[in-house]
Structure 1
Amino acid sequence: MTARKTLCAAALAGILLTTNAAAQGETDVKIETIPVADGIYMLIGRGGNLGVCAGDEGVLLIDDQYAPLAPKIRDAVAAIEDQPIKMVLNTHWHGDHTGGNEPLARTGSLIVAHDNVRVRMSSKHFSKFFNSTREPSPREALPVVTFDSQVTFHVNGHTVRAEHVPPAHTDGDSIVFFEEANVVHMGDTFFNGLYPFVDGDSGGSVIGMVAAVEGVLARIDDETKVIPGHGPLSDRAGLAEFAGMLRTVAGRIGQRIEAGDSLDAVVAAKPTAEYDERWGQGFIKPDDWVGLVYDVMSMNR
């Protein structure tokens, strides 16, 4: 691993793999509430964006960021609807989406996720990209209800359907459709305005991420509100822009891999040049992202 890539990996490991925001010096996080539709909200703090389905039947929470933020998340939810967080659905296993599982479970929340989320959280995980090891999560943090292909929640007058997609960001991704509200929570299959992390060490696939996003685009319309895993609230046009960028870059890098080009040669070719101003200002910089895509696509050949 190069020095450049080592720095990127270390930063990302802190963001994505840890379950503890305090470990990152982020104890003063504020939770912002964004109304999305009637009874549906997005919460922004540190880590993945949260979805909230609120009403007098209790709250369904999509993802839960980090353990130290659980009290602030509870307060933000209570300001929307003074009801308990009855259920938490994890869109995938990374710590910035599951770190709050343990404190929320201890106060009665039922944790739900795809089968592979529980498997990965239950196991010691070594990431070659990060060159780091994540210990198994505590038993209390693990999902107690898991599913294979999909699960449907009927709560607060909403039909909320979580559907597992083939390997994309990881091998345990779920995309969540709020059917009557015309809202979709993409988890980390969509990074809005950022080059996305694809976790090849957790079974992720760049081509699979393209397929997952294109599958959603075929099902939604111009009025759909799209909650990304990271970045601001979006819509169908924003998701389509992301898909176009991802498809184009994956195609370019894939062709160079097939031609036998080295990583250094592909990075030097600047296959993301026209996208860097729009997508390359986040926590993964352009050359780092080219290296990540190259490595994951090579791994998946």
Structure 2
Amino acid sequence: MTLKRLSLLTLSLIQLSFYSTAALADDDRFKDVQITSQKLTDSTYMFTGSGGNIGVSAGSDGILIIDDQFAPLADKISASLNKIQPGNPKYVINTHYHGDHTGGNAHFGEQGIIFAHHNVLKRLSAKEGTPKAALPVVTYSEDVSIHFNNDTLTLKHLGPGHTDGDSVVFWKKDNVVHMGDLFFKDRFPYVDLKGGGSVLGYRNNVAKVLMIIDNQTQVIPGHGELASKDDLMKFKHMLDDSINWMNKQLTNGRTLEQIHATGLPEQWKSWSWNFITEKKWIDTLYQDLKA
């Protein structure tokens, strides 16, 4: 064997080892995750596990899911679905493009049709290595309705917020709404500015949803426990206060360092969490509102 071939073989083995190690690390990370099912109505469920909450419609027309968490959890999600009703999902809805909501697309997209906003297809297509089965097949600009399991599910795009491709899903009859990541219950939200998100758009979209739902609506957040309209209203108050507070800091000509030193109003400090800390939320507000 020539030195050149030996070098290429060694490189290939190193690459194989790297990808195998990465795959094992992923498997190890998710091996203890349990997919928990919560029944909301006769045909509607919320699944929690690791990543974004999953909405489920199961009935005489089959199964529909909203978001599908991380790729290594696909088999566990399928097993949990089969406890409710046998069969594979006919339809998959992506509320946005992030991997903790679309990781299972390649698995569920093999036999199901994926729906999403145009920009979800655009962003997933731009990601190198994304298999065709993981890409949305039906896309839309504003909204589309799916008539399924004796109900009408409306997928509505309200404009840039969490990203530039968010969808909120409303069940007309069952009075349930899946917010995607336009709602982090009792936590500071992640506004993906590089993904076309907008702090003001985010707040305004939450306000639009509040005008549509009522006090009996069951609200599925992107992350966190099942919520109510009151919980979503509390979330909007936090957004309003955060935006007004930051605008005041900017009007007074304060630097980012000075703003960090002051910190957010005391009532919201407990909303800090491991992914979006108080510091990161302040950084997001400053970056977007200063522009």
TM-score > 0.5 by shorter chain: yes
Q: Which among 268, 271, 278 is matched to residue 286 of structure 1?
A: 278
Instruction: Kindly indicate whether structure 1 or structure 2 has the higher relative contact order, using CA contacts under 8 Å at least 6 residues apart.
Output: 1
Aligned partners of 2:97 and 2:123 also within 8 Å: yes
1:114 aligns with 2:117: yes
Residue matched to 2:188: 195
1:45 aligns with 2:45: no
* Paired AA for residue 81 in structure 1: Q
Q: Secondary structure at the match of 2:154?
A: strand
Q: Which among 133, 139, 143 is matched to residue 132 of structure 2?
A: 139
Change (3 A) 1:254 1:136: farther
1:89 aligns with 2:99: no
**Pairwise mapping of residues 34-73 of structure 1 onto structure 2 (< 5 A)?**
34-73=38-77
Output the CA distance in 1 between the equivalents of 2:283 and 2:117: 29
1:77 aligns with 2:70: no
The percent of aligned pairs where both chains have the same amino acid is 42
Whose radius of gyration is greater, 1 or 2?
Answer: 2
Change (3 A) 1:21 1:70: farther
Q: Secondary structure at the match of 1:85?
A: coil
1:227 aligns with 2:235: no
**More helix per residue:** 2
Residue matched to 2:35: 31
* Paired AA for residue 171 in structure 2: F
**Residue 184 of structure 1: CA displacement?**
0.5
* Paired AA for residue 203 in structure 1: G
Output the CA distance in 2 between the equivalents of 1:211 and 1:232: 22
**Residue 158 of structure 1: CA displacement?**
1.1
* Paired AA for residue 170 in structure 1: T
- RMSD of aligned alpha carbons: 1.8
**Residue 219 of structure 1: CA displacement?**
1.2
Residue matched to 1:154: 147
Aligned partners of 2:30 and 2:72 also within 8 Å: no
Length, aligned pairs only = 269
Aligned partners of 1:20 and 1:99 also within 8 Å: no
Output the CA distance in 1 between the equivalents of 2:276 and 2:113: 33
Change (3 A) 1:190 1:21: farther
Change (3 A) 1:191 1:88: same
Q: Secondary structure at the match of 1:207?
A: helix
Aligned partners of 1:20 and 1:66 also within 8 Å: no
> Structure 2: which 5+ runs fail to align?
1-22
**Residue 273 of structure 1: CA displacement?**
2.4
**Residue 247 of structure 1: CA displacement?**
1.0
Higher mean displacement: 195-204 or 115-124: 115-124
Deviations, residues 83-134 of structure 1 (Å, cap 9, x unaligned) = 321000000000000000001112x01111000000011114xxxxxxxxxx
Output the CA distance in 2 between the equivalents of 1:123 and 1:241: 36
**Residue 68 of structure 1: CA displacement?**
1.1
**Residue 165 of structure 1: CA displacement?**
1.2
* Paired AA for residue 260 in structure 2: V
Output the CA distance in 2 between the equivalents of 1:201 and 1:48: 20
Aligned partners of 1:272 and 1:286 also within 8 Å: no
**Residue 259 of structure 1: CA displacement?**
3.9
Q: Secondary structure at the match of 1:42?
A: strand
* Paired AA for residue 122 in structure 2: V
Output the CA distance in 1 between the equivalents of 2:285 and 2:155: 27
